[in-house]
Amino acid sequence: IPHRSDPGHATQFENALRYKVEFLTPNTGSDDYADHATPMPSLGGASAQPLRFLDFLIQEPIRTVLLHRSGVPVVVPSPGRSAVHKLIVASRRQNDANG
């Protein structure tokens, strides 16, 4: 899936079943880079979307189990940090035609 403002880069991929994977990276620099894909050579040519406060979100992750067949162990952000991150990002999001 081409990046919305950088069509030469892809930060999201979707398979035939419409399962999406998006690559994110912390945006700790200027907001000038917020809407530009960041090339990630170690991802085989894929890019990542810089996301403000991602470093806060991924601190102190928790271990849990994905409910699929006999279970798949995963590490995810803590629910409290996820909620706070959503509130922070939502308050900073610009209103535009694409939401």
Q: Are 41 and 7 in a shared domain?
A: yes
Query: Please, how many CA atoms are within 13 Å of residue 43, restricted to the half-sphere of its CB?
Result: 18
CA angle, corner 33, sides to 85 and 60, nearest 5? 30
Both 48 and 5 in a single domain?
yes
Helix%, strand%, coil% for the chain, nearest 5: 25, 30, 45
pTM of structure:
0.68
- Its domain, for residue 12, covers 1-52
| 30/81: higher pLDDT | 81
Contact 11, 22 (CB under 8 A): yes
Asked if the structure places residue 99 within a domain, the reply is: no
Residue 92 confidence (pLDDT): 74
C-alpha 17 chain-centroid distance: 20
Whether residues 57 and 38 fall in one domain = no
pLDDT grade, residue 95 (50/70/90)?
A: low
Q: pLDDT by residue (tens digit) across 15-46?
A: 999 999 989 888 877 777 677 888 888 888 88
Summarize pLDDT for 3-22 with one digit per residue, the tens.
888 788 888 999 999 999 98
Domain count, the chain: 2
